[in-house]
Amino acid sequence: MNTLKLDLLISRENNNYKGSLSYKNNPLTQSAPSIHGVETQLKKLLWEFESLDPDTVEFNHYYQCPAFFSEFAILNREQLAISADIGKARLEAFSSGKEKPTAEEAKRLEKALQELAARLLKTSLIIP
């Protein structure tokens, strides 16, 4: 069974996540309270209109800043700002959607997040 990977742009609107993608030049957009809900609705549309088996569809997530910080609220924004060498107030503006990061700021944020992810992948918990 071949897996089809589709790029899913995730934004945040009115307390919902909005997911947008294009398949065979057809734009598809759905909203739901969770990203899982968005994915489920999009898979349903792909099944109905394109006869794609939902079990064969996976998504690459591309987050706009407000959606990212909402989905990953566990992140300490102050520490992320320090790691990415971005001012805390500026990072808060990205998080709220009031401002967008420059290309350089986005690269620094991605690098800081990738470094955190690498550290987390090497982490194990032990039970004493």
What's the burial of 89, exposed, middle or buried (CB within 10 Å: 0-12/13-18/19+)? exposed
Bridge partners (DSSP) of residue 57 are 4
The pTM is what?
A: 0.79
Domain 4-63 indexed as CATH 3.40.50.300: no
Q: How many residues does the chain have?
A: 128
DSSP state of 34: S
Residues 6 or more apart whose CB falls under 8 angstroms from that of 87 comprise 81
Domain boundaries, the chain: 4-63, 75-121
Per-residue pLDDT of the chain (128 residues; tens, 9 = 90+): 799 999 999 999 888 999 999 999 999 999 999 999 999 999 999 999 999 999 999 999 999 989 988 888 878 889 999 999 999 999 999 999 999 999 999 999 999 999 999 988 887 777 76
- The residue type found at 127 is I
